[in-house]
Amino acid sequence: MKIEILEKNETNLRIIVKEVDVTLMNALRRIVLAEVPSMAIDEVVMIENSSILQDEIVAHRLGLTPLKTDLDSYNIPEECECQSEFGCPQCRVTLTLDVESKEGTRTIYSGELVSENPEIVPVSDKIPLIKLAKGQKLKLEAYARLGTGKKHAKWQPVAVSAYKYFPKIEVPSKKCEDCQKCVDICPKKVYTIKDEKVDVRDLLACNLCMDCVEACPTEPKSIKVEWVKNAFIMNLESNGGLPPERILQEATKILDKQFKEFEEKLKVEYEK
C-alpha cells in the first residue's frame, strides 16, 4: 500500500491511497462517519429560559455545536467505570450558560458557554446560539459526553468523509479537431490548451463525470477518461473537534478491534 499526502491542515486531510481494495476504503469511510467518537452536548438542564425559543430548540442547537474533543482523557459513558446515568468527571464535561440582555437585542454566541474544562470548548466562539430581546434571560447547565455518529449525527467528527477513484486521462497526442469543447465543458477545469493542443492541467480535480468525453465530437472519441484500479483519493474534513489525521488513526484502530473481536468469536465457535 502506498499513501501520499496531498493536503493537510487543521481541518482538512486529502490523501492518495494506492494498491488497496475499495472495500477497505469504504470501511474506513463509514467508520469515520459512524464510529469514531467525538464530544457533543447530550443533556441540558434548563434553569431559566425567558427567550422566545422553546427549551428543546435551544438544547438541539447546543447539541449541534461542535466541541473540541479529547479522546485520551475521557471515557465513552457506556465503557466508563462509574456506570452512572449522570456520568462522572471521566465521562462528562459540564458547560454553563448564564446570559441576559440588559439593553436592546443581543445575540448569544457559543463563546459565552463556560466549560469546567478549558480544553473542551466549542471549536469556534462565533456560532450564534440565540437572540435575546431586552429583559430576556437564558440560564442553563449542559453536559457533554463522547458518543458516535451511528447514534446521533451531532457526534460525527467530520463534515466530509469521502473518497473517489484516482483518475486517468489520455488526451490526444496530436492536435485533434481543436473544438475545445472538452476544455470548456469540464466543471472542474481539468483541461487547458497548451501549444494549441488539449492538455491536462489538474488531473486530481477530475471527478470522472465524463462530460468531456460526451462533448467530444470525434468518433472514436479522441479523449479517454478512466480510473486507476485500486487507487483512491480520500478526503476528510474535520468539524474542528479532532485533527483529521487523528480521526483516520482512530478509524483504523476501530477496524482492527472489530477484526480481533471477530477472530475471537470465531475461535470460540470452533472450539465448541
Burial of 132 (0-12, 13-18, 19+ CB in 10 A): buried
Q: For every residue of 201-226, which 3-state class applies, written as one string?
A: CCHHHCCCCCHHHHHCCCCCCCCEEE
Under the criterion CB under 5 A, does residue 93 sit at the interface with Zn ion?
A: no
Q: Which stretch binds Zn ion (CB under 5 A): 28-36, 76-84, 124-132, 225-233?
A: 76-84
Which of 16, 27, 82, 209 binds Zn ion (CB under 5 A)? It is 82
3-class DSSP state of 194: strand
| Separation of first and last alpha carbons in the chain | 37
Residue 64 in grid coordinates: 449541534
CB of 57 to Zn ion, least distance (A): 29
CB of 72 to Zn ion, least distance (A): 15
Pairing status of strand 197-200 against strand 191-194: antiparallel
Single residue of 9, 26, 73, 90 touching Zn ion by CB under 5 A: 90
- Is 88 a binding residue for Zn ion by CB under 5 A? The answer is yes
Nearest approach in angstroms of CB 107 to Zn ion is 35
Q: Which stretch binds Zn ion (CB under 5 A): 79-87, 120-128, 174-182, 251-259?
A: 79-87
- Cα separation, 255 vs 42, whole angstroms: 26
- Please report whether residue 76 would count as binding Zn ion according to CB under 5 A: no
How far is Cα 29 from Cα 161, in angstroms, rounded to an integer?
6
**Among residues 91, 169, 225, 254, the one that binds Zn ion under rule CB under 5 A:** 91
The reply on whether position 80 binds Zn ion by CB under 5 A is yes
Q: Site residues (CB under 5 A) for Zn ion?
A: 80, 82, 87-88, 90-91
